[in-house]
């Protein structure tokens, strides 16, 4: 495969979270909340990256798919069973196999979500859960990344005094295809999903997000990191 969006960024990606420790803790709380008790369950992480979040939970039953070898090799060391180095679009998944399939931040790097979610729903057992965690396009973080992307810098007078100390790497913000939460909900509704739950974190403005870890709350209309739980 050719160069992937995250190739060359594996260290920077993990390092950014480690430097933004409180932001990471807030996202990790959301991640753990929405996965719930995974004992005895079979999980698939689509775009598992370096397996950073999974390194804080029991990853022994987690399969992963990851296009970036740089990222995936680290995930393997962290205990994820990487079943494919490639794009989810190019993978055949077995029917009715997983209890939970989740996309932690990876939908934000995919153009056409419908075929990918459709494929994932087929691979879920009955009543299984498709869980989508992302920075919503409509959030303050989404605006910040899109402004950075269009200016090709965060270091601009428009953003003076408004930026967090260590913003997400510009190249990764710029390669994102930022979707709104409602866009994803509508895709899932078109695929027949009726039961949804929503949770969010990173409610504070980005400038203050890393001051202290935040709690998880219900809903999706305020957070800079939002989880959709869709039941098959």
Ligand X SMILES: C[S@@+](CC[C@H](N)C(=O)[O-])C[C@H]1O[C@@H](n2cnc3c(N)ncnc32)[C@H](O)[C@@H]1O
The contact set with ligand X (CB under 6 A) reads 4-6, 46-49, 52-53, 65-68, 71, 87-89, 104-106, 109-110
Q: What is the chain's Cα-based Rg?
A: 17
> Measured from the CB atom, is 28 or 163 closer to ligand X?
28
Q: Could you give the 3-state DSSP secondary structure of residue 1? A: coil
Q: Which is nearer to ligand X, 66 or 214 (CB)?
A: 66
Phi, psi of 213 (to 5 degrees): -65, 145
Q: Closer CB to ligand X, residue 76 or residue 160? A: 76
Minimum CB separation of residue 106 from ligand X in Å reads 3
Residues 155, 148: Cα–Cα separation, whole Å? 8
Report the greatest alpha carbon distance in the chain. Answer: 52
User: Which residue, 15 or 195, is less far from ligand X as judged by CB?
Assistant: 15
CA-CA-CA-CA dihedral for 134, 140, 145, 151, to nearest 10: 160
Quote the least distance from Cβ 66 to ligand X, whole Å.
Answer: 6
What's the closest the beta carbon of residue 25 comes to ligand X, in angstroms? 14
* DSSP, res 167: P
Q: Measured between alpha carbons, how far is 147 from 179 in angstroms, rounded to an integer? A: 15
Q: How far is the CB of 103 from ligand X (least distance, A)?
A: 7
* CA distances from residue 175 to 89, 107, 142, 178, 197 in whole angstroms, order as listed: 17, 12, 13, 9, 28
Nearer Cβ to ligand X (168/220): 168
CB closer to ligand X, 65 vs 132: 65
Q: Smallest Cα–Cα separation from 26: which of 164, 216, 207?
A: 216
Among candidates 22, 12, 26, which has minimal Cα distance to 173? 12
For residue 74, the Cα-to-chain-centroid distance in whole angstroms is: 17
């Amino acid at each position: 495969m050719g160069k992937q969006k995250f190739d060359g960024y594996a260290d920077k990606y993990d390092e950014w979270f480690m430097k933004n420790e409180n932001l990471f803790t807030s996202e990790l709380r959301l991640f753990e909340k929405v996965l719930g008790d995974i004992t005895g369950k079979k999980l698939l992480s689509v775009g598992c990256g370096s397996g950073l979040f999974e390194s804080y939970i029991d990853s022994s039953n987690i399969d992963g798919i990851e296009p970036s070898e740089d990222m995936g090799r680290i995930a393997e060391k962290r205990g994820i069973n990487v079943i494919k180095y490639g794009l989810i679009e190019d993978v055949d998944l077995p029917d009715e196999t997983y209890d939970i399939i989740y996309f932690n931040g990876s939908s934000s790097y995919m153009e056409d979500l419908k075929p990918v979610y459709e494929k994932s729903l087929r691979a879920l057992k009955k009543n299984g859960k498709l869980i989508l965690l992302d920075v919503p396009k409509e959030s303050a973080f989404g605006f910040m990344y899109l402004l950075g992307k269009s200016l090709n810098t965060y270091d601009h007078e428009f953003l003076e005094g408004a930026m967090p100390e260590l913003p997400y790497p510009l190249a990764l913000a710029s390669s994102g295809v930022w979707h709104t939460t409602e866009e994803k909900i509508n895709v899932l509704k078109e695929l027949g999903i009726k039961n949804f739950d929503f949770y969010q974190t990173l409610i504070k403005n980005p400038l203050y997000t890393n001051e202290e870890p935040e709690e998880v709350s219900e809903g999706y209309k305020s957070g800079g990191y939002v989880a959709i739980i869709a039941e098959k």
